[in-house]
Amino acid sequence: MRILLAEDDRIIADGLCRSLRQGGYAIDCAYNGTDADTALLTNPYDLLILDLGLPKMPGWDVLRRLRARNATTPVLILTALDGIDDRVKGLDLGADDYMAKPFELAELEARVRALSRRSSGTSRMIQCGSLTFDQTDRCALVNGEMLDLSARELGLLEVLLSRAKRLVSKDQLVDHLCGWGEEVSHNAIEVYIHRLRKKLESTGVNIITVRGLGYSLEKPAEERKS
């Protein structure tokens, strides 16, 4: 999942980026409204976390321009403006959720997960054979036992599960797994796929390589028959 954080407070931005990256999210950060608007025009995002008091272009205008382009990117407003009129205005402009500062990190992360599930149309648990992916706790389980996966492997598995039986290219995987300044080559994606494939051997879930095109997740044989 790739997130754009539009926040001009560098301390808040750096703390959020570190925390969300540890959760397996790819994070880009824009420190003013103009850069946020440009990023939204040129990159696909699964979520926008938006401060309203941005320099150069207010968050209100970033949101207004985003919705004027008919973009459906989920938006979580994160701002010091906590009056009821501000909340109503933000939601009426097209925000999906609204949080006031100061905030609890655990609650923000929970709201990020909820918006992610809502936008992807999936439930909290994604089941595939004996493999279960818990989007709330961001972990993978095999017959109830936790699978030892790195943050990158978890992110990769989530993308493949959410697009089961569909082809996912290496470029798409890079876009979902990596933020600005993170250099991940196609060779690195191949390494992550190889490691993840080995860890999934006991589940019956298989990652299929379509040479030159990408990867798809193949469900266990018994599920394909049903």
| Most confident listed range (129-133, 166-170, 184-188) | 166-170
105 vs 176: which has the higher pLDDT: 105
Q: Is residue 143 pLDDT above 90, yes or no?
A: no
Q: What's the confidence (pLDDT) of residue 223?
A: 52
191 vs 175: which has the higher pLDDT: 191
Q: What is the mean pLDDT of residues 211-223?
A: 74
Which parts of the chain are beta strand (E)? 2-6, 26-30, 47-50, 75-79, 97-100, 125-128, 131-134, 139-142, 145-146, 206-210, 214-218
Q: Is residue 175 pLDDT above 70, yes or no?
A: yes
Q: What's the confidence (pLDDT) of residue 97?
A: 94
Q: What is the mean pLDDT of residues 91-110?
A: 92
Q: Do domains 2-120 and 125-225 have the same CATH topology?
A: no
Q: What's the confidence (pLDDT) of residue 163?
A: 77
**Least confident span in 32-36, 103-107, 158-162:** 158-162
For the domain 2-120, what is the CATH code?
Answer: 3.40.50.2300
What are the domain boundaries of the chain?
2-120, 125-225
Q: What is the pLDDT of residues 59-93, one digit of tens each?
A: 999 999 999 999 999 999 999 998 999 999 999 99
The CATH architecture assigned to 125-225 reads Orthogonal Bundle (1.10)
Q: What's the confidence (pLDDT) of residue 185?
A: 79
Q: Do strands 2-6 and 26-30 pair parallel, antiparallel, or not at all (unpaired)?
A: parallel
Q: Is residue 221 pLDDT above 90, yes or no?
A: no
Q: Is residue 123 pLDDT above 60, yes or no?
A: no
Confidence band (pLDDT; 50, 70, 90) for 48? very high
Q: What's the confidence (pLDDT) of residue 59?
A: 95
Instruction: Give Cα separations from 53 to 32, 82, 160 (angstroms).
Output: 9, 12, 36
Helix (H, G, I), strand (E, B) or coil at 155: helix
